């Protein structure tokens, strides 16, 4: 698993240049034969997206971003889940004195946590449906059993 955050630029030719913050990217590496625990290693990879399109997804009816890699291959589409978007800051989250790709950060290293008293999905565009009301299902079942019992007791014609 890899993650990084940073800035993007639009050079004007229809492409996007993604420039991550060099010291903050991480890659989770799991090698059970070499390490007892998984290891977070620094990760830094600027990217050029050849093109992009922004459209409203016909199925979800929300904005969708389609990115195309440097060679034109499509990437997994991204959907706008929050409006306004909830994004990481564009400055370093884990300041270090050295930003090398060979440095390792193991679990237990101090992490910056984003703390908020508000729920994360308060601005979500897609709202989860309310679960089925069990009380309504119970009374509907009782009603159907009652109606079925009454119909069963009616005299039948011979």
Q: State the residue range of the domain holding 23.
A: 2-125
Residue 151 lies in a domain: no
**131 or 48, higher pLDDT:** 48
Q: How far is it, in rounded angstroms, from Cα 64 to Cα 62?
A: 6
- For the stretch 8-47, pLDDT in tens is 999 999 999 999 888 888 888 887 787 777 888 888 899 9
Greater confidence (104 vs 58) lies with 58
Q: Taking 80 as the threshold, does the pLDDT of residue 65 lie above it?
A: yes
Looking at the chain, the whole-number percentage of residues with pLDDT higher than 90 is: 33
Supply the DSSP symbol for 55.
Answer: E
CA distance 31 to 40: 11
Domains held by the chain: number = 1
In this structure, is residue 155 part of a structural domain?
A: no
Examine residue 119 and state whether it is found in any structural domain, yes or no: yes
Task: Identify whether 91 is part of a domain.
Answer: yes
Give the pLDDT score at 49.
94
Determine which of 90-94, 102-106, 133-137 has the lowest per-residue pLDDT on average.
Answer: 102-106
Domain annotation covers residue 145? no
Q: Helix (H, G, I), strand (E, B), or coil: what is residue 67?
A: strand
Can you tell me whether residue 36 is helix, strand or coil?
Answer: coil
Q: Is residue 23 in a domain?
A: yes
Residue 81 lies in a domain: yes
Q: How far apart are CA 63 and CA 27, in angstroms?
A: 29
Q: Residue 70, Cα to own-chain centre: how many angstroms?
A: 23
More confident residue, 1 or 139: 139
């Amino acid at each position: 698993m890899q993650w990084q955050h940073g800035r993007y630029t639009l050079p004007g030719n229809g492409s996007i240049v993604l420039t991550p913050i060099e010291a903050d990217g991480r890659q989770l590496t799991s090698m059970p034969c070499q390490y007892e625990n998984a290891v977070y290693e620094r990760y830094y990879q600027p990217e050029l997206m050849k093109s992009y399109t922004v459209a409203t997804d016909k199925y979800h009816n929300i904005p969708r971003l389609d990115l195309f890699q440097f060679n034109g291959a499509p990437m997994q589409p991204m959907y706008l889940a929050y409006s306004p978007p909830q994004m990481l800051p564009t400055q370093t989250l884990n300041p270090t004195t050295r930003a090398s790709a060979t440095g390792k950060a193991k679990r237990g290293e101090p992490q910056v946590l984003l703390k908020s008293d508000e729920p994360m999905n308060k601005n979500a565009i897609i709202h989860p449906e309310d679960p089925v009301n069990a009380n309504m299902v119970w009374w509907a079942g009782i009603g159907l059993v009652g109606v079925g019992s009454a119909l069963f007791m009616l005299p039948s014609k011979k």
